Amino acid sequence: MTDDPRTLVSTDWLAKHINDPDLRIVDASWHMPDQNRDARAEYDAAHIPGARFFDIDEISDQRSELPHMAPPPEKFISRMRAMGIGDGHQVIVYDTHGMLSAARVWWTFKLMGKDDVAVLDGGLPKWQAEGREIEDMPPVIRDRHMTVTRRNHLVRDVTQVAEASKLDTPQILDARAAERFAGSVKEPREGLRAGHIPGSKNLPFNRLLHDDGTMKDEAGLRAEFDAAGIDLGRPVITTCGSGITAAVLALGLARIGHDDWSVYDGSWTEWGAFADLPVATGDA
């Protein structure tokens, strides 16, 4: 893979730069509620040296009834300063799955106007499989000022997505598993209808990944987007269950130089809950 500190870097890259004074490592691990795993406790027990823990559910807009919606800028600034992350830092984000929630935090930094942020390819599993160092010590925190410029074009709300559904522009791409997209299985969250946004296409996020959780190369990514029926000359809105794996698709688009994308933050947790929004079933 080609290392790019604005999208994706290898474990070799991180090992080489881990002691850089302006590098900040973030553990963005998150698990579905039904997995009965405690991401914070797992971080406390073992993490890449110097990593800070980013609590996706807490660093969010808790005024919303929807889960882990993007935080207001002032809350993001407050939490990042408390984590010792500020202007001028290169941020590397990883998770314990290999590639899942780390992309969501990458997107959150991008949304807040930060470009020097990348996902660790293969995450903690690859790092540990290579026998690299982990620790259970909390990092030394030094406060640094942070400024934020929210990029509203990187996020879409339900009204904008409903318009895109009717007009077929931008294209809507759903990262959920094919069975959930088709509506042939029950949604994992209670109270949600099964199916997908009318007019949307399906590309399960793991299709962009190798079995070890690393991301495919540019040719492989382009092939997957093409197979899903996406025109890479047009804008794309990515969606999923609750805005987590939609960011994996966004990262994949960024990796191939397609920058006209946005994430539907509410995703199916919002769309599937409202009876007045149309739902399609079956294959795309």
Interval 78-121: pLDDT, tens: 999 999 999 999 999 999 999 999 999 999 999 999 999 999 99
Number of structural domains, the chain? 2
**Which of 150, 167, 191 is at the close of a domain?**
150
Q: Counting beta carbons within 10 angstroms of the beta carbon of residue 194, is it exposed (0 to 12), middle (13 to 18) or buried (19 or more)? A: middle
Q: Is residue 177 part of a domain?
A: yes
Confidence at 1, pLDDT banded by 50, 70, 90: confident
Q: Is residue 282 part of a domain?
A: no
pLDDT > 90? residue 210: yes
Instruction: Please give the average per-residue pLDDT across 230-236, as a whole number.
Output: 98
Asked whether 196 and 187 are in contact (CB, 8 A), the reply is no
Give CA–CA dist 157/160, Å, rounded: 5
Regarding whether 146 and 171 lie in a shared domain, the answer is: no
pLDDT > 80? residue 228: yes
Regarding whether 166 and 132 lie in a shared domain, the answer is: no
Q: Which residue has the tokens 């998770």?
A: 95
Q: Is residue 80 part of a domain?
A: yes
Confidence at 20, pLDDT banded by 50, 70, 90: very high
Instruction: Please give the average per-residue pLDDT across 259-283, as a whole number.
Output: 95
Regarding whether 204 and 157 lie in a shared domain, the answer is: yes
Confidence at 191, pLDDT banded by 50, 70, 90: confident
Regarding whether 178 and 61 lie in a shared domain, the answer is: no
Each residue of 73-87: pLDDT tens digit? Answer: 999 999 999 999 999
pLDDT at 35: 85
Contact residues for 150 (Cβ-Cβ < 8 A; gap 6+): 73, 111, 112, 113
Confidence at 272, pLDDT banded by 50, 70, 90: very high
Regarding whether 115 and 12 lie in a shared domain, the answer is: yes
Regarding whether 90 and 35 lie in a shared domain, the answer is: yes
Helix 246-255 and helix 218-227, axial crossing angle in degrees, nearest 10: 120
Catalytic residue IDs:
240
pLDDT at 188: 87
Q: Is residue 214 part of a domain?
A: yes
pLDDT > 70? residue 284: no
H-helix or E-strand spanning residue 228: none
**Which of 133, 150, 167 is at the close of a domain?**
150
**Pairing mode of beta strands 117-120, 155-156:** unpaired
Instruction: Please give the average per-residue pLDDT across 53-75, as a whole number.
Output: 95
Domain of residue 224 covers 153-271
Spatial strand order in the sheet of 171-174: 155-156, 261-264, 236-239, 171-174, 201-202
pLDDT > 90? residue 189: no
H-helix or E-strand spanning residue 67: none
Regarding whether 108 and 53 lie in a shared domain, the answer is: yes
Helix 246-255 and helix 101-111, axial crossing angle in degrees, nearest 10: 70
pLDDT at 190: 85
Q: State the average pLDDT for the chain.
A: 96
Each residue of 152-185: pLDDT tens digit? Answer: 999 999 999 999 999 989 999 999 999 999 999 9
Confidence at 283, pLDDT banded by 50, 70, 90: confident
Instruction: Determine the residue type at 110.
Output: K
What CATH number is given to the structural domain containing 114?
3.40.250.10
**Which of 102, 126, 150 is at the close of a domain?**
150
